[in-house]
Structure 1
Amino acid sequence: MAVDFPVWSLSPYEGPHRSVLIAMKERGRRDLAAFVGASIGASISYLAAQGEVEHDITLVPAPTRDASRRRRGGDPVERVCSKTGFSTFPCLRIAARTPDSVGQSAQQRRRNMRVELLRRPAVPVLIVDDVVTTGATIAASADVLRSAGVQVRGALTYCYA
């Protein structure tokens, strides 16, 4: 992954962690957002205690496609962030012209990912996502935030693949 800031992940995308994310995102298990949010919140508290991020860091949920948001009845990552105990600032969306990344190589994903800033946070942020694969979404999110003058302290995901 080609980013110049730390990216932390809680676990590999396998076994029960994978099952939790699939159930939460694709099977309507909204209740699991509280579990994932508590796990991410505890991890952020640990990172803050270690001096990696501010104790009052603001979370920016990684963007999701509008079609996915509609199909899922909302954004699971926003829901997770709201359960962490930290301030959440949803401000990103995937641009409508961005091609679906299914079947694309890591290089194609990075080249094609387009993220738009809807409103600018005035404080340092931590990007949060459910799973990181190539890092294209995190990198594009950081690029658009930084181009608006936002300080990105890093990214945190529940899983890595």
Structure 2
Amino acid sequence: MSREPASALGAAFLALADLLLPAPCAGCGLDGERWCAACRERWRSPALLDLPGLPPVLALAPYAGRAREVLLAYKERGRRELARPLAGLVVEALRAGAVPPAALVPAPSRPSAARARGGDHVLRLARAVVAGRSGPAPPRLPVDGSSSTALRLPCVSRALALGRGAADAVGLDAAARADNLARHLRVRPRGLPPPGCAVALLDDVLTTGATARAATSLLAAAGRPVDVVVVLTVADPRAPRTLIRASPVGRAGGHPPGGRHAG
């Protein structure tokens, strides 16, 4: 079965399930709505974070309260249906920040964690973002100088992977996270974005910034500098931020590409 019929079948099943057994809101637990309007509204004020050693970081919500509950429901509690509405909010933030159509690189999960969750949740989100952002005729980028072979943008580029020996980052401090990533995060050459296109790194939560720094450094060393890091949530409430609506990011705005920031 192809992905499209399977997705349609899954959507139909969820619609039927909503009629028969309405799921509670993933954020506040309100009966009858999978994600109520009040909880979703908390994600509609994306901000730019100014963090050392990173390109502009676009964050949708703080990792706290109802937003945290929604993320945990999607990531750890099997609420896969949240991928589409979360992706829709990412698309809104990208458009508000004038981020150009880009190759979206998902931050990888540990293989064991992805299996336990029934799949890589950030990869699933990235695919939903691209599906939501692609228009009837998305931009095409020539590959290898040939106008007959072109890649449509936006797209998902699985350019990064975590080795089997990577430790769970929960409970690790910044130094331990950086060491863990230095030993186990690697580039997948076949998954690299095509040269010259905008690149966005996607992750679910920014805690110490270790993952984003390791990933942007690896991609820059591979000749694919990151223009913007996009995270659903940010754990540090002290991170300096500005409203995204006032500060376009990436090559469409006033910030330099990410490769000049990577440390």
TM-score (norm 2): 0.56
Could you say which residue in structure 1 is the equivalent of 2:79?
29
RMSD (CA atoms) = 1.5
**Contact 1:94–1:115 (8 Å) recurs in 2:** yes
Identical positions, percent: 36
Give 1:111 shift.
2.6
In structure 2, what is the Cα distance between the partners aligned to 1:101 and 1:11?
21
Of residues 106-115 and 6-15 in structure 1, the stretch that sits farther from structure 2 once superposed is 106-115
Could you say which residue in structure 2 is the equivalent of 1:73?
118
In structure 2, what is the Cα distance between the partners aligned to 1:42 and 1:154?
15
1:94-132 alpha-carbon deviations (Å, 9 max, x no partner)? 123333323221122123213111122113210011111
Partner SS, residue 144 of structure 1: helix
2:186 to 82, 94, 116: 116
2:93 to 39, 43, 59: 43
Q: Which residues of structure 2 form unaligned runs of 5+?
A: 1-50, 134-153, 236-263
2:108 to 63, 69, 74: 63
- Runs in 1 of length 4+ with deviation above 4 angstroms? none
Larger radius of gyration between Structure 1 and Structure 2: 2
Could you say which residue in structure 2 is the equivalent of 1:93?
161
**Contact 2:58–2:230 (8 Å) recurs in 1:** yes
The answer as to 2:172 corresponding to 1:104 is yes
Q: Whose RCO is larger (CA < 8 A, sep 6+)?
A: 1
In structure 2, what is the Cα distance between the partners aligned to 1:151 and 1:143?
8
In structure 1, what is the Cα distance between the partners aligned to 2:232 and 2:171?
22
1:43-64 alpha-carbon deviations (Å, 9 max, x no partner)? 111112xxxx32x112111111
Alignment length (residue pairs)? 156
